[in-house]
Amino acid sequence: MKEYLSTVRRIAFALAGLALAANVHAAPSKRAVPACTKVSVSATTTVPAGTTWDGVAKYGKWVCLVGSTTAMNGSQSESQKPHFILENGATLKNVVLGDPNLGTARDLKAGGADGVHCKGNCRIENVYWGDVGEDAATMESSAPTGSVMTIVGGAAYKASDKIFQNNGDRTRISISDFYAAEGGKLYRSCGNCSSQYVRFVTVNGVTLYNVGAGLGVNSSFDASKLPSLSGQYDVADLTDIVTNGSTSSRCVGYVGTSAGHEPVKDTNTANIARTCKFH
């Protein structure tokens, strides 16, 4: 019986490996924002659990949704409202957020708002951030433990700071077949949230151009401020992440800390090596 169970486990792991291999994406070349018709937006759209909001299906063409109020103008204010809230199991696809034609600088207040918020498992497919506002997409801290935000296809441009933000409890953000140009970081695991957790990120087939750094992860935690997280760390799995222009590093480690304190870079190379896993 033990031998039988061992064989079953080996087969299961082999099948899982084949599934992962089948989903490997090559890093894309430069990807332009689709030509789109501007639509002014003054309120957040909530996508109910288990449903899909498809911009092309809704409008019959590509549209760029542009926030028309101060709370959705795409500034760096923490009070910015998101364009979309995705309930657990919701999907957003085929839409442009923010006006891509205001210029080439960052922080243009081009109506990107605070992008997309996920309240649990969610999928973001072929979404283009023509001008990233406060963030492009955020996994909320209230998401159920272990939730996954899956980003497939699309691109993000002109982010003043990070593009994707992970605030959840052992939550994962998975980014594949994606292009980003001009920004601070592709991804950041919150370094000083009021509730701190270990988090995960998977990057598979991503190209960065003039993005300050690829991933910002907590490769350790300040034990004096977060004793419950002493010895723990985030995990980042990276496959085929290509950097061009002024991108300095594909994966940067930080010492996670508590609210009210600024995280510092982790200088322990062993910590960074265990966190940033290149495949």
Tens-digit pLDDT string for the chain (279 aa): 444 444 434 444 334 444 444 467 888 888 999 999 999 999 999 999 999 999 999 999 999 999 999 999 888 888 899 999 999 999 999 999 999 988 676 777 778 999 999 999 999 999 999 999 889 999 999 999 999 999 999 999 999 899 999 999 999 999 999 999 999 999 999 999 999 999 999 999 999 999 999 999 999 999 999 999 999 999 999 999 999 877 678 999 999 999 999 999 999 999 999 999 999
pLDDT at residue number 111: 87
pLDDT at residue number 101: 87
3-state DSSP percent of the chain in helix, strand and coil, to 5: 15, 40, 45
State how far the Cα of 64 lies from the Cα of 78, in Å rounded to an integer: 23
State how far the Cα of 110 lies from the Cα of 113, in Å rounded to an integer: 8
Under DSSP, the state recorded for 103 is -
pTM over 0.85: yes
